A and B are shown apart, each in its own frame.
Chain A
Amino acid sequence: MAECGEILEGFLCPICKADLGSEHQLRIHFQDEAHKEHQDVFKSLKDVFEKAKKKILKIDDEVYVPEFSSNVVPISEPHSSTLFRFEPQEIGEFRCHTAYFRELRNKRLERYTAETNKLLIRLGKLMLDLPVDPLKRKTHEQAIVPWIDDRDVKLCPSCARSFNMMRRKHHCRLCGAIMCHDCTRFLELSEAKKMINMSFGSDGEPNEGASTSIVKNFPPFRPLGRSSSNNSLNSVLSLVDAKTGEQHLRLCIHCKELLETREKLKETRNLKPIISQFYERLQLYITEVDQLCTLYCKMCQSLNCGEKTHTVVEAQELRGKILTLAGSIDNLSKKIAILGTKDVENPPKGRTLQLQQNIKIATNYYLKDRVIGLPSVPTELAFKSLQESRR
């Protein structure tokens, strides 16, 4: 593309270079009409694209797989005695809007994601071999993102105020648009580095290997005098920015916001507080106890009928195992209940505390239901007489 002398971006058809506007359009264009002969190329391209998309967007598979299957899960019978007079009843009518909701949401988000991805790609290019020298840096920046001509913009497009000596024009390094100082934000280079690492890395963690390969000659940290824009006065004023001593890219608020939203989302998605880890372990134990209890109950029933399939010792061992596990469950739930309470300055309160305590209460109910009411194993003696009577 570079040899054409112009920068092409967007959803381009790799064969005819037409910008189709969205992924969907591009796919239709490619699949149906234009380039039937290149289907195999398309297929491989599509796979790459899907994979890249997943990586870039950090799409959880779990997020996107619809969970309709659970709709048909049978509902357990209610236990109350008053209900037994009524014939079994299936779940009432319901209507699912999830698909429609997703369709609407995706339409909207597709735009955002495309926009964000474009910015991330540009950011990557900007950071690659970013020159230290202010003049060279400007050329570098403009080579990647063409800047809008100063003369074309009379008012700041964001706040609609006019430009003058005090309100200078600034270019967003990612979209090239002009805005006033108040409507621009700085993106620290260190931040930017993190962002592109995230988007090119293979998983959510900052990938060191990737970072070195992409930002090869990352400029050393030192105060950087900014170059002038088309106007030489700018350079004088921009020195003020340089005083902060941080290196940054000037972005318009819209570009900054898009990038920040993405970052925030990543952060929260990867967050897993201690309570979740504890809770997951608790649930693992509970699943195990459930399985063992089912097995144990069968065993007891068989023993109490005097059958020889299992031995008394076997059942007793299993019972011991269940009780040990139940002990661990009890301990773990107690730990959850007092999680963080030793922190004098910032003890858990309100909802957090209530959550912890309710987990404990629920666990108690579970243990009471499941473990305390377990049938007992007959003694060896009783078992013998049971076998006798069976004969």
Chain B
Amino acid sequence: MNVVAAVKMYITQMTEESGPGMKILLMDKNTTSIVSMVYGQSEILRKEVFLFERIDSNSQYDPMRHMKCIAFLRPTKENLAHLERELKNPQYGAYYVYFSNIIAKADIKTLAEADDQEVVREVQEFYGDYLAISPHLFSLNIPICSQGSTWELSHLQRSVQGITSVLLSLKKCPYIRYQASSEMAKRLAEKIREVLSKEESLFQFRRPEVAPLLLLLDRRDDPVTPLLNQWTYQAMVHELLTITNNRVDLSHVQGISKDLKEVVLSAEQDDFYAKSLYMNFGEIGQTIKELMEDFQKRAKSHQKVESIADMKNFVETYPQFKKMSGTVSKHVTVVGELSSIVSGHNLLEVSELEQELACQNEHSQQLQRIRKLLASDRVRHIDATRLVLLYALRYEKHANNDIVGLVDALKKRGVPENLTKCISQMKEYGGARVRQSDLFGTQDAVVKITKRFFKDLKGVENVYTQHSPLLKETLEDLIKGKLKENTFPYLGKEQIRGKPQDIIVFIVGGATYEESLVVHQLNKMHPVRIVLGGTTIHNSSSFLDEVRGATHGLGRRGHNM
């Protein structure tokens, strides 16, 4: 179960099916991202694909009848209309049309009637209708999926298409379980089952001993994970610099060289990144340092490389080094940028407190520390708000909580209103009333204490990585066959016998890279194959947008009543 390989095989198949010759790849906005996640420029050039075009570009070119056109499109109304127009007046000699999802027969008819010049050679469905980020991680790039507490319909549709295409590309016909407390998860589950039964003939796969499982969760059950600062490389880059379709925008960095304004971070094409994806910040610095020292030995230089700043200098003064490991210079820049943000905004201290708020129950001491950090100028507004958010989530039901006082402190600090409002929005979105799981471990004290005890025996953990997402617990229960049916019911009467081995878990409202790491580790530790997906991959700021979207209109309604 490797989603990157699955999408890649589809693309490879497209380029091969069209035979030898010069090719152009015609895509829409979404499929452009889908392809760029799994194929690098140089790699696709080697497949004789020399040009790329957006179907909605509307630009008029001279026809190139000597080229073959591979059209990879989502089966949307707009795309079909564009393609119909293209076929009526074809620019290219031959068309190989691949839809990323199920297409209606009526639409095929419309296209067939447009193809008077007989340019179409293939019309197929290749189910690469999602963004494959890592072998075990996919996203649908839906930044805000709900409208109030229900689905925005087009996003529900997109999610159904995305998940069914994951199932088809991995050849899995699963049982479905969903989070009982979430109306959205249930709705999604039902819609997916509709497709499974309507397209029964498509989902006829060889049945393994234990059927695969699709688990649908709701972000609302764990609003804590996306709020935390991260310290593993991928998660940290996303949190502090934002990764969009494997790309990081560094154009805001002062004095950045032209070729580093946007860097690609893809484990497929970048070995260093593939190795350091899940390393923590300290280890990365160490790895880069070693690489440089190794080079120094060869270059017989005696320049000292101690700090990140030294590293940057070093890379600039040694062009050969840059050439030798082009990717390393990219990572030096990224790591340098991360480290300047971390030190500039006191993130170590902030993160430590975040972790304690997420994992430990010590109200008065934590309240004091929050107040202290709120008074510090170095702490950014967004970080201050996050601390208060975490506090509000943990001590929502605490008799002596001082949420009001902290919100006041934020206001005094000059935190903009859209951020201070988040505190009440968050309560609405993922407060105690909404959650079904024991996120902070307050009720089931005995279990939690034993867990903590075992943790402590393993030695002191890194204070910045104490937190483990709720997803870990849920999946571990699932793997052991202990996931409760009242909280995670099956859709329909049939149940899996035995422990599931192939698990696809999808989080409505977005997954995080921290959760991706958990899945990666579980895949390594247990004889299971887990694939994680989300409507999007959140960092804290995109998550706050999601929360705003999900509570938009709710407050107003309350006001009216």
Contacts and interface: CB of A to CB of B under 8 A. Distances in A.
A236 interface: no
B61 interface: yes
Interface string B130-169: 0000110000000000000000000000000000000011
Nearest to A64: B118
B66 interface: yes
Contacts of B271: 80-81
Contact of A97 (B50, B93, B125): B125
B19 A67 contact: yes
Nearest to A57: B118
A361 interface: yes
Interface string B22-48: 100000000000000000001001101
Contact of A109 (B2, B45, B64, B118): B118
A92 B9 contact: yes
Contacts of A279: 21-22
* Majority-rule SS of B interface residues: mixed
A101 B108 contact: yes
Main SS at interface, chain A: helix
B127 A92 contact: yes
Given A92-B9, A350-B61, A104 B45 contact: no
B169 A101 contact: no
B120 interface: yes
Contacts of B8: 78
Contact of A271 (B46, B66, B169): B66
Interface string B51-67: 10000000001111111
A112 interface: yes
A261 B90 CA distance: 13
Given A83-B135, A101-B111, A358 B45 contact: yes
A316 B126 CA distance: 47
B108 A100 contact: yes
A105 B115 contact: yes
A365 B46 contact: yes
B464 interface: no
B50 A268 contact: no
B77 interface: no
Given A350-B61, A362-B46, A365-B45, A78 B5 contact: yes
Contacts of A261: 116
Interface in A83-106: 83, 85-86, 89-98, 100-102, 104-105
B321 to A, nearest CB: 20
Contacts of A109: 116, 118
B118 A67 contact: no
B45 A97 contact: no
A354 B51 contact: yes
B124 interface: yes
A272 B66 contact: yes
A100 B12 contact: no
B66 A108 contact: no
B267 A80 contact: yes
B39 to A, nearest CB: 11
A358 B46 CA distance: 10
B382 interface: no
Contact of A92 (B6, B67, B116, B275): B6
B16 A70 contact: yes
A361 B10 contact: no
Contact of B121 (A90, A98, A265, A369): A98
Interface in B102-124: 102-103, 105, 108-109, 111-113, 115-118, 120-124
B99 to A, nearest CB: 9
B405 interface: no
Contacts of A302: none
A109 B112 CA distance: 10
Interface in A42-99: 63, 67, 70-71, 73, 75-76, 78, 80-83, 85-86, 89-98
Nearest to B205: A93
Given A75-B9, A89-B6, A97-B103, A268 B65 contact: yes
A95 B204 CA distance: 12
A366 interface: yes
B125 to A, nearest CB: 4
Contacts of A283: 20
B13 interface: yes
B17 interface: yes
A60 B112 CA distance: 19
Given A67-B17, A96-B124, A89 B2 contact: yes
A275 B1 CA distance: 42
Given A86-B2, A104-B109, A358-B50, A71 B9 contact: no
Given A92-B169, A352-B62, A108 B113 contact: yes
Contact of A83 (B4, B48, B171): B4
B170 interface: yes
Q: Give the most central of A70, A90, A97, A271: most B CB within 10 Å.
A: A97
Contacts of A90: 171
Contacts of A369: 46
Nearest to A71: B17
A104 B271 CA distance: 48
B274 interface: yes
Contact of B42 (A82, A95, A359, A365): A365
Contacts of B113: 104-105, 108
Nearest to A287: B20
A75 B124 contact: no
B268 interface: yes
B122 A67 contact: yes
Interface string B500-524: 0000000000000000000000001
B523 to A, nearest CB: 8
A117 B19 CA distance: 32
A283 B22 CA distance: 10
Given A105-B115, A359-B50, A97 B123 contact: yes
Interface string A261-283: 10001001101110110010001
B5 A95 contact: no
Of A86, A95, A98, the most chain B CB neighbours within 10 A belong to A95
Contacts of B268: 78, 80, 82
B210 interface: no
A276 B67 CA distance: 9
Nearest to A95: B125
A70 B17 contact: yes
A82 B268 CA distance: 7
B202 interface: yes
Contacts of B109: 104
Contact of A75 (B13, B22, B48, B103): B13
A78 B62 CA distance: 36
A91 B113 CA distance: 31
B108 A94 contact: no
B274 A94 contact: no
A83 B17 contact: no
Contacts of B63: 268
Nearest to A108: B113
A350 B127 CA distance: 32
A83 to B, nearest CB: 6
Q: Which of B66, B103, B274 neighbours the largest number of chain A CB atoms within 10 Å of its CB? A: B66
15 contacts: A67-B19, A82-B134, A83-B135, A92-B127, A93-B127, A93-B168, A93-B169, A93-B202, A95-B125, A96-B124, A98-B123, A101-B123, A108-B113, A272-B66, A275-B22
Given A71-B17, A83-B135, A97-B125, 10 more contacts: A63-B121, A76-B12, A78-B8, A92-B169, A97-B124, A98-B122, A268-B63, A351-B64, A362-B45, A369-B46
Interface of B: 1-2, 4-6, 8-10, 12-13, 16-17, 19-22, 42, 45-46, 48, 50-51, 61-67, 93, 102-103, 105, 108-109, 111-113, 115-118, 120-128, 134-135, 168-171, 202, 205, 267-269, 271, 274-275, 524
Interface of A: 63, 67, 70-71, 73, 75-76, 78, 80-83, 85-86, 89-98, 100-102, 104-105, 108-109, 112, 261, 265, 268-269, 271-273, 275-276, 279, 283, 350-352, 354-355, 358-359, 361-362, 365-366, 369
